[in-house]
Structure 1
Amino acid sequence: MSTPSAAPTPRRARPAVRISSAAAMAVLTAVSAAACSTSSPASSSSKTGGSTPDGASGRTIRVVAAENFWGSIAAQLGGGHVHVASIIANPDTDPHDYEPTAADARTVAGARYAIVNGVGYDAWADKLLAANPAAGRAELKVGDLAGVKPGGNPHRWYAPDDVHQVIEKITEDYKKADPADAAYFDQRKKDFETKDLATYNKLIADIKSTYHGTPIGASESIVSPLADGLGLKMLTPRTFLDAMSEGADPTAKDKAAIDDQIKNKQIKVYVYNTQNSTPDVQAQVKEAKDAGIPVAAVTETLTPADATFQQWQTAQLQGIEQALAKATGR
């Protein structure tokens, strides 16, 4: 399998995270209404779970995930005992500057468990949760779990170790919410890690073993945690990676450094985010291809939208592995 062939339309450069006044009014209004009715899911929800009543054993835990990559994992770990709604589920939606809707507020109001990425990536989700401090709702902020401080790299779903840490925590929280079904959640976790993630885990181990220390370039900081997890050496200046992720203009110095790395083939592979392909990135992709440097692609959210976390990540890892093999002859 290779990387997805039909990449979504590139997004515009990212502005700072914001929630418009109109959206905020709609959210607060919806939260008030949610006290009377919490059954309506978010319009962009992805649902997985059984229809057992919310009772003692066999209850259905209502879960809301800010992004569908975490929602996919949560749904698979919970199986028939959870109902997961992911707010960001459209590949053309930028999680950085998303503006919540009234339906999103209702979904959050009805959830017993909430998963947000944190580290400034989805500040709108923090505002949604704060607007409705429901008693008894458990919350997981991935950045805090991973120990990433403010200003750190927020793209934790691209860090294999952090993904496994999240799997452990979600399972633990499910068991706390529904102790009667603890054995069920333990089995779901075991199956997910040993079967569903088998190819994902093997690709990571194989790439790390075969290509450890191979220098690569990238379009933005989303690639950095994955490069670390794969044992690859990121040569692109961090200031450029961060600027591109934040929607800022990169410096002429950084662009010149990357041009030099490509021209002199200091990097073996160039990896770029097709969902944030600015003119600067497009120019670098062209330069790399013209120089005979293999190019691999990643996306920020599940692509296609109905893919599982492991299907999405496996396809991208296979694309990176193929690029590395072409570049090194190994």
Structure 2
Amino acid sequence: MPTAATSRFPRPSARTALVAAVAALTAVTATACSTSSSSDSKAGGGASAASGSAGGKKIEVVAAENFWGSIATQLGGDRVHVTSIITNPDTDPHDYEPKAADARTVAGARYAIVNGIGYDAWADKLLAANPAGGRTELKVGDLVGVKEGGNPHRWYSPDDVHKVIEKITEDYKKADPADAAYFDQQKTAYETKSLAPYTKLISEMKSKYADTPIGASESIVTPLSEGLGLKMLTPETFLDAMSEGTDPTAKDKATIDDQIKNKRIKVYVYNSQNSTPDVQAQVKEAKDAGIPVATVTETLAPAGATFQQWQTAQLQGIEEALAKATGR
């Protein structure tokens, strides 16, 4: 099965921009430039530069997407400086067009976080153009054991999120051993305080609504439905087609129409950042049938939210829809 990155057929302009970015990256390698891009943001991608590590120098981190950048920022505190490349909720990470500033950011990073699994192939190319010694690279797909062709939306898997938290902390400690205790404290505080509402809500929803049948607009919802113990009835072929930007089959659309018409699903969840005419039609059908509709987005929304603020708000929306549908 083709991956999201390869099947959306990037426009010629995207390929041209990527070539330009790679060329810029090669140029800056010689000067070992360390420059934060304009996409740097406090919640999703950037930490304050006021204070540094015990050695007086922050770990420069680049994250391909701001959902991972937000977590990296909070785990690193004032010992790291994180720059996220994808920060605009309107940007499609699958076929993002890298800029020269992105190349400079990658060139100066000691630690790079990419999603992998074909989701951000442009980031892999930027990293490959500068095989710098001493830089650590975290590919989330490799970490969680999901290969090309698998579902790339791992930030929607609660279990995988915790695996990433563990790995980032481990890598920070290796990069800055003198601050190992600090990074352990950051991780504990993040998991027990900042992330607690997210973790608690997932546990409560799983206990209360396990096995509730739902429908969805694309595969981004699948890891979350699995984490919540919900029963996804939408054909996987339809979910993949919508995520990959290909046309769904008439058979799949007829199956979904039947599920909605006969209320075989209790809730419909759709990605509002990828709302095609087919999805819009299904949302309308669901609402007309009295089926509650909840929304999710692909990247942080609003862009200045933290990972946990964003995810918790979406979970609350799904919970409200489930409560309305089931009376529980």
Shorter-chain TM-score range: over 0.9
SS in 1 for 2:161: helix
Q: How does 1:48-63 map to 2 (within 5 A)?
A: 48-52=47-51, 57-63=55-61
Q: Equivalent residues in 2 for 1:201-280 (5 A)? A: 201-280=199-278
Cα 1:183–1:53 change in 2 (3 A) is closer
Q: Deviations over 1:69-105 (max 9, x none)?
A: 0000000000000000000000010000001111000
The aligned runs of 1:104-183 (5 Å cut-off) are: 104-183=102-181
**CA contact 1:59–1:178 (8 Å) conserved in 2:** no
- Given candidates 57, 63, 66, the residue that maps to 2:64 is 66
Q: CA shift at 1:52, angstroms?
A: 4.2
Distance 1:30 1:149 in 2: 27
Q: Is the Cα–Cα contact under 8 Å of residues 22 and 125 in structure 2 kept in the other structure?
A: no
CA separation of 1:17/1:163 partners in 2, compared to 1, >3 Å: closer, same or farther?
A: farther
CA distance in 1, matches of 2:300, 2:26: 28
Determine which of 19, 22, 34 is the counterpart of 1:24: 19
Structure 1 188/17 Cα, relative in aligned 2: closer, same or farther at 3 Å?
farther
After superposition, the C-alpha distances for 1:222-275 in whole angstroms (9 at most, x for unaligned) are 000000000000000000000000000000000000000000000000000000
Match of 1:305 in 2: 303
Count of equivalent residues = 316
**In structure 1, which of residues 16, 35, 45 is the aligned counterpart of residue 40 of structure 2?**
45
Match of 1:286 among 273, 284, 287: 284
1:144-172 deviation digits (Å, cap 9, x = unpaired): 10100210000000000000000000000
SS across alignment from 1:65: strand
- Please report the TM-score for the alignment, with normalisation by the length of structure 2: 0.93
Provide, for residues 25-71 of structure 1, a one-character-per-residue CA deviation record: whole Å limited to 9, x for no partner.
343134313432523222222211444467x6353100000000000
Give aligned-pair identity as a percent.
Answer: 77
Deviates more, 1:213-222 or 1:29-38: 29-38
Quickly say closer, same or farther: Cα 1:134–1:52, change in 2 above 3 A. farther
Q: Deviations over 1:106-156 (max 9, x none)?
A: 000000000000000000000000001111000000011010021000000
Q: Which amino acid aligns with 2:61?
A: V
**Contact map agreement 1:115 1:140 (CA 8 A) in 2:** yes
Q: Which residue type is aligned with residue 322 of structure 1?
A: E
Does residue 36 of structure 1 match 2:31? yes
> Is the contact between residue 17 and residue 123 of structure 1 (CA under 8 Å) also seen in structure 2?
no
Relative to structure 1, the CA distance from residue 17 to residue 149 in structure 2 (aligned partners, 3 Å threshold; closer, same or farther) is farther
Root mean square deviation, CA, Å? 1.4
2:8 corresponds, among 10, 15, 38, to 15
**Could you list the runs of 4 or more consecutive aligned residues of structure 1 that deviate by over 2 angstroms after TM superposition?**
14-19, 49-54, 56-59
Distance in 1 (CA, whole Å) between partners of 2:52 and 2:293 is 49
Quick one: distance in 2 between partners of 1:79 and 1:52?
Answer: 10
**Contact 2:268 2:291 survives alignment (8 Å):** yes
- 1:205–1:230 Cα contact (<8 Å) kept: yes
- Between the aligned partners of 2:166 and 2:49, the Cα distance in structure 1 is 22
User: Cα offset for 1:22?
Assistant: 4.4
